[in-house]
Homo-oligomer: A and B are copies of this chain.
Amino acid sequence: MVVPRRTSRDIRSDSRLDVLHAVLSAGETTRNELAQFTGLSAATVVTVVGELLAEGIIEERKVTAGRIGRPTATLGMNKARGLVVGIDVAETYVRAVMFDAALNQILAVESARDEHVLDPDSVVEGIGRTLDRLLDEAGVSREAVLGVGVALPGLIQGPQGVSVVVPHWTWQTVELEHLRERLGLPLVIENPLKSIAIAELWLGRGRNCSSLATINLGTGVGAGIVLGGRILRGATNTAGEWGHTLLVLDGRRCRCGRNGCVEAYIGAPGIQQTLREIDPTHPLVDLDMQNDFIVALAAVADGDEPDEAVAETIARTAYYLGSALADLVAVVNPEVVTLTGWTTWALGEHLLPPTRRHLLEQSPGGSALGVELDVSTVLGNSVATGVATVVLERFLVDAGLLTSNIPVAL
């Protein structure tokens, strides 16, 4: 049994991390609330807050008179500390988002990617150009940015170092060094599933529960998993690849090379395939771009004109999603499941009620009875938000302002 050992020093730095997380997730809070929320003693909170104030990581915002006349100061992150950038590299786009040091979104820019161009050089250049455009539009120099985080699909940690595994796309450590050079800023890279888990943990439902899964629905699908308040990474950082678990043995071909994966049914192209199987002549079947298809599907579903093929597509997608979520709940048994990603923003309200029903019906022994299934409250691109959060944490660690034995990124 190899368990990371905790020393008194770790406990102290855990207290700092917990207070910092609590300030971040609350937006604005007080010392009293921090003690309640973190479970730390009032004395410890006062000490830690004092240190964080002295170091300029958090700031006092305003002082209000308390109920019994004693003034109370509210605390927040020190926004002026610097900027951080999170970049979501997806199959069809690169989205770069700038945040202040309190993780408020300042500006986002997006570049389309050609889904078929996957050589390392052009991917690196696409990421670099998107960052340049973001800095340009914000009128900000690299000096004002504390660091940049890039979420790359299929990031794994193998015996040959870090590599990125998407179809036709096998990056090695050398490409990552190339990326670091091109961006010209302190860089953290992260798997998108771990990124959405971090965003949900710090800024979403993770504030009130200790175990959760957050499901990304887009071109690809996957799960970010939090257990006991910590991100589940797995031995090679591939935990959460629930999108490539079986829905149907020997079923639809999946782009990962396997047949019958969950993603082949509820990834955006999979949903289009479902419509094609129901009605091959339906006009939406011909839409070329995935995002256009999902938005159009939602528009028809929201419209006044009944469309049986679209209704049936959504019903089957909910059946597939609920069945696959029942598998995840059976293995991991979390308290909360949230949905995120661009398919969720478009179709979430249609999918949620029937998916909840299927999840409940298919979970062993009613084990999903207590599981809350909801759309995530983390707005915007939670991949970018999550990886930006890691940048902030890493900056504080590297600056010696926070020590942590919790792995925050590769």
Interface residues of A (CB under 8 A from B): 1-8, 11, 18, 21, 25, 39-40, 154, 156, 158-159, 165, 201-202, 206-211, 223, 225, 227-230, 232-242, 244-249, 251, 256, 258, 320, 323-324, 326-328, 330-335, 362, 364-367, 369-371
Query: For residue A265, which residue of chain B has the nearest CB?
Result: B249
Check A369–B158 contact: CB distance below 8 A: yes
Check A331–B245 contact: CB distance below 8 A: yes
Tell me the dominant secondary structure on chain A's binding face: loop
CA A365 to CA B5, docked complex, whole Å: 32
**Whole-angstrom distance between the Cβ of A394 and the nearest chain B Cβ:** 18
Given A227-B232, A235-B335, A331-B331, the answer on whether A207 and B1 have CB atoms closer than 8 Å is yes
CA A304 to CA B402, docked complex, whole Å: 67
Hey, which chain B residues are within 8 Å of A365, CB to CB?
A: 154, 156, 165, 238, 256
**Whole-angstrom distance between the Cβ of A353 and the nearest chain B Cβ:** 20
| 7 more A-B residue pairs beyond the given contacts A1-B18, A227-B232, A238-B364, with a C-beta to C-beta distance below 8 A | A8-B11, A156-B366, A165-B366, A228-B230, A234-B333, A246-B326, A328-B331
**Whole-angstrom distance between the Cβ of A403 and the nearest chain B Cβ:** 16
Check A246–B247 contact: CB distance below 8 A: yes
Given A247-B249, A248-B249, A370-B158, the answer on whether A2 and B241 have CB atoms closer than 8 Å is no
Check A234–B332 contact: CB distance below 8 A: yes
Give the contacting residue for A210; candidates B3, B40, B367; CB below 8 A.
B3
Check B333–A332 contact: CB distance below 8 A: no
**Whole-angstrom distance between the Cβ of A232 and the nearest chain B Cβ:** 7
CA A7 to CA B44, docked complex, whole Å: 13
CA A38 to CA B245, docked complex, whole Å: 36
Task: Find the residue from A25, A40, A158, A251 having the highest chain B CB count within 10 A.
Answer: A158
**Whole-angstrom distance between the Cβ of A164 and the nearest chain B Cβ:** 9
CA A1 to CA B205, docked complex, whole Å: 8
Query: For residue A248, which residue of chain B has the nearest CB?
Result: B249
Check B247–A332 contact: CB distance below 8 A: no
Query: For residue A11, which residue of chain B has the nearest CB?
Result: B6
**Whole-angstrom distance between the Cβ of A205 and the nearest chain B Cβ:** 10
CA A39 to CA B7, docked complex, whole Å: 12
Check A246–B366 contact: CB distance below 8 A: no
**Whole-angstrom distance between the Cβ of A195 and the nearest chain B Cβ:** 16
Check A4–B331 contact: CB distance below 8 A: no
CA A246 to CA B21, docked complex, whole Å: 37
Hey, which chain B residues are within 8 Å of A335, CB to CB?
A: 235
Check A333–B239 contact: CB distance below 8 A: yes
Check B202–A1 contact: CB distance below 8 A: yes
Task: Find the residue from A25, A40, A248, A365 having the highest chain B CB count within 10 A.
Answer: A365
Query: For residue A206, which residue of chain B has the nearest CB?
Result: B1
Q: 15 A-B residue contacts at CB 8 Å? A: A1-B25, A1-B202, A7-B11, A8-B8, A156-B366, A165-B364, A227-B232, A234-B334, A235-B370, A236-B333, A236-B367, A237-B333, A241-B330, A249-B251, A327-B327
